[in-house]
Amino acid sequence: MDKKVDKPAEGKRPAAANAPAKPRSASAERVRRHREKMKAMGLKPVTIWVPENYKSPEWKAEMRRQCQLIANDPHEQQILAEIEDWFDPEGWK
């Protein structure tokens, strides 16, 4: 169970209790509405970090190596078969 923390995480500032709310820009408001819509659909935002050098020969070689490792893995084949069973192309363009 999580313990209650008395101080904010390092690098974080506590919000001022009586500070007026800063108005959001139009784009920030659109993002907020989009995130609320996704949350209402039961989705959770996830950030995927990709290295800046994803086009480098070393990166491509490493991705190729990792793909070859799982290419004939029985568990990977089972997962792919399940995804194909779940896939419903109706409505996709």
Q: What is the mean pLDDT of residues 68-85?
A: 93
Range of the domain at 58: 51-87
Output the pLDDT for position 23: 81
Q: How far is CA 4 from CA 12, 16, 58, 79, 92, in A?
A: 16, 20, 45, 39, 46
Identify whether 68 is part of a domain. yes
Q: Which residues contact 51 (CB under 8 A, 6 or more apart)?
A: 59
Output the pLDDT for position 16: 61
Identify whether 79 is part of a domain. yes
Identify whether 40 is part of a domain. no
Output the pLDDT for position 35: 92
> Could you tell me if 30 and 36 are in contact, meaning their C-beta atoms sit under 8 angstroms apart?
no
Identify whether 73 is part of a domain. yes
Identify whether 24 is part of a domain. no
Q: What is the pTM of this model?
A: 0.42
Q: What is the mean pLDDT of residues 57-62?
A: 94
- Overall number of domains in the chain: 1
Handedness of CA 59, 69, 83, 40 (dihedral sign): negative
Identify whether 9 is part of a domain. no
Identify whether 81 is part of a domain. yes
Identify whether 13 is part of a domain. no
pLDDT range class, residue 7, cuts 50, 70, 90: low
- Portion of the chain with pLDDT greater than 70, in percent: 77
Question: pLDDT tens, 20-55?
Answer: 677 889 999 999 999 999 999 999 989 999 889 889
